[in-house]
Structure formats: structure tokens, C-alpha cells
Amino acid sequence: MEKAAIEIDAFLEAVVRDHTIALDNGAPNDDLLYNLLKFQKQDASSAFSIDKDSIKGVILNMFFDGTDTTSSVLEWTMAALIKHPDIMRKLQNEVRDVGRGRLTITGDDVEKMHYLKAVVKESMRIYTPLPLLVAREAMQDVKVMGYDIKAGTQVLINAWAVATDLAVWDNPEEFSPERFLNNPIDYKGLHFDFIPFGAGRRGCPGIQYAMAINELALANLVHIFDFALPDGKRLEDLDMTSETGMTLHKKSPLLAIATPRL
């Protein structure tokens, strides 16, 4: 662990150093790191200044938070699709119709795939990638809906419980992407029935990044491959048990046979 931490820190140091040199030479690119470095230069004496370790922490979060939750969403979605072959066929029909005659699906193609987007939303509803959103701390005594919350109290929001609440969702344990078709509910924090990325000023800043990766990866997988369970296993044998942790992972990894069709 110590060796890995040293190597990661050295990598982040090199990335920050290269960006700092480019910025000093007047040749920056408009990416997150350059903007953080510009903010650091402009506001060094401000109460909201940011140091190099904080910048490295932000970049590290972009790498690890994005990859961990994205891989989790993709695995759960593929498992749900394999377990529901009728939904898989419907999704493949849409994706393959849009991508007809081409090997890969593009981001522009994904924007035409309404059922694909519904599938990803439904997967994130049932298998919420971060069931308990990042903890917040009350900065002062406050009363919320009749409850007294003291300053310093850690507050957690159970996003999974919200997304599977019987008072809000019909048959909440059923995997049904159709519930999101012709439905304004989205994941951007404007509808509090569905908040996989949180909401408000403290919502996840990487929503678009994460969803673009999830949707594009899923579209290409179902476009290029057909999937089946190995060793003659039945659909009911597919274990959908989750493992406890900050991120919702399958207890047993998804094992499937991918057969190229192109």
C-alpha cells in the first residue's frame, strides 16, 4: 500500500508540474487542472486559496471515484440485462438500428437512444452506485421538519432508500426501464425521488462525465456482442446479491460469455 501511495503521488506531482510549466509559459489547455492552478495563482492570499495537496486530491478523486462507480454501474447493468433477455433484446434492437453498418457507437449516436438512457437510469435506481451519499456536517444548530440537528452532526442521505420507496415508485424492486420513458425524472438533482449523484451545490460535479462513459460503454457492448451465461447456467442462477461498502458492488463478479456478432 505504501509503495502504491508513493507511486501515485509521484504521478500526480508530475502531472501538476507539467501543467504548471505550461501555464507559466502561456500555453495552457482549458481543463480542470489548469483552472485549479489558475485559481491558485490568482487567489493565493484569499481565504479560499487551494494548496498543491488539495489540487492533487481533486485529481485523484476524478480518477478513482469516476472509475470505481462507473465500473460498478456497468457491471450491475449488464447483469440486469442478462437476467432480463427481453429487455436486452429491446435495447440491442435500438442500439443496432442506430449503429447499423458500423462497428462502433459514437456519442452522437447515444443521444438518439432513448431506451438505452432509460436502462441506465433504471439500473442506477435499483443498484444505486453510492447508496449513502457523501456525509455532510451541520455547521450550526438547525431544525429540519421538526427535528433538532445540532452543530457538528454528521448527516447521511440514503439515496437507495429514496429510489426504492413504495410511496413513490410502483413495484420498486422490478427492473423496468419503461418507467423512465416519457418521464421527466432525471438524475441531475432536480427530482428528489432519484438522486444517485446527490443534488444542489454539493451534488457530484462529474455527472456528465460519468453518464457519458456509462452510456457509451454499454451501447458498444450490446452493439458488438451477444451475451450468455457460462456452463449452462440458468437465469435464476445469476446472483444479484450486493456487497456492503461505500460503493455498491456485486458480491460475486458477473461471469458471462460475450460472442462477437460483427
DSSP state of 200: G
Coarse DSSP helix, strand, coil percentages of the chain, rounded to the nearest 5 percent: 50, 10, 40
| Number of separate helices (H) and strands (E) present in the chain | 8, 8
Average pLDDT over residues 210-230: 95
Q: How far apart are CA 84 and CA 144, in angstroms?
A: 41
Q: Please, which pLDDT band fits residue 6 given cuts at 50, 70 and 90?
A: confident
User: Does residue 19 or residue 87 have the better pLDDT?
Assistant: 87
Angle (nearest 5°) at CA 119 between 128 and 97: 155
User: Does residue 231 or residue 118 have the better pLDDT?
Assistant: 118
* Digit-coded pLDDT (tens) for 128-181: 999 998 888 999 999 999 999 999 999 999 999 999 999 999 999 999 999 999
In the prediction, which pLDDT does 151 show?
95
Average pLDDT over residues 8-33: 83
pLDDT at 233 over 80: yes
3-state secondary structure of 228: strand
Binding site residue list: 204
Report the b/e string of 15-28 with b at 16+ CB within 10 A.
ebeebbeebeeeeb
Average pLDDT over residues 56-81: 84
Question: What share of the chain in percent tops pLDDT 70?
Answer: 95
Binding site residue list for heme: 204
pTM for the model: 0.79
> Which of 129-143, 198-212, 218-232 shows the lowest per-residue confidence on average (mean pLDDT)?
198-212
Integer CA distances (angstroms), 15 to 18, 21, 69, 186, in order: 5, 10, 23, 35
Beta bridge partners of 242: 250
Average pLDDT over residues 59-72: 75
Average pLDDT over residues 58-78: 82
Question: What share of the chain in percent tops pLDDT 90?
Answer: 57
> Which of 24-28, 94-98, 131-135 shows the lowest per-residue confidence on average (mean pLDDT)?
24-28
pLDDT at 203 over 90: no
pLDDT at 84 over 60: yes
User: Contact at 8 Å (CB) between 168 and 96?
Assistant: no
Q: How far apart are CA 134 and CA 202, in angstroms?
A: 9
pLDDT at 238 over 70: yes
Average pLDDT over residues 46-72: 75
pLDDT at 35 over 70: yes
User: Contact at 8 Å (CB) between 133 and 252?
Assistant: no
